[in-house]
Structure 1
């Protein structure tokens, strides 16, 4: 691939074995595959130094896709939610709790049970909304999660609340309080050892 000088780099045997299996599956010689991966990584990291986060978020999006998560235009979703009966809305809330709890457990097993991993799920799932996490200064292990969007009405807030509830359950976080208003959902959770 490249005629430049080469350098030996120690890589764990498990990684080499996995990459060799992958290279034989896709029909690219091992050395060429590794070089392409490193070149791509170097190119992308020039413009985005947070490449590891991008890879992690891609993995998270793939997991979300596996549970049937799809992306639809926000205006269309808002119209659907507005026209839903209360019973259908409650059914959707229960499904969101189950799905977000499952995704939370999966992420917890794959990446660990940190607060950051929990919040990453919310940021991917609710990617069109602003999400802030504020540690409460005088209270150990209490965090205020503020999710806001000008497009969000109170019914959408109920769905967001269901997602927070499911993810919190998976990460063993306790919901202390919640407040839903047009455009904003504020949830206080206890996360960590009390």
Structure 2
């Protein structure tokens, strides 16, 4: 039976995650309003995009509290870029946190504006070398107890796992490599 993945689809790069997950056999459902949460998925994707807009829309739509509960109850979640910011307990350069389920301190737009975007190859623990696309990306300044560091770029933490939360500063959904999404599905 296909795993049912709820993809936050209020703003950002949700379609790219849906395409990649569908290509490896998952069934995706877009989460746009509180009504979309009535059928609980097996796992959740928080895509890249603009974290302040996503946070505002989550609050206005009534989706923030139920999704936070799902994550706290152990629902597997894959968060990329803005999704990492939404999960973070602390932001070093912003007071507006969201779910606060991931014990890390994140720096928003750490690599600068859009012109500071770049692509690199780096090791991802348990996966191997991977192409990593950083688009106005954050990075993790500090990781709390129980957080497994999976990848670093230029001395900064760029991927972590905490319980069933897999959080990345980069965008694996924009390339052809499905290994991180496959690892996410194995968390279910």
Report the TM-score when normalising by structure 2: 0.25
Which protein shows a greater Rg?
A: 1
Q: If each structure's helix is expressed as a fraction of its own residues, which one has the higher value?
A: 1
Q: If each structure's strand is expressed as a fraction of its own residues, which one has the higher value?
A: 2
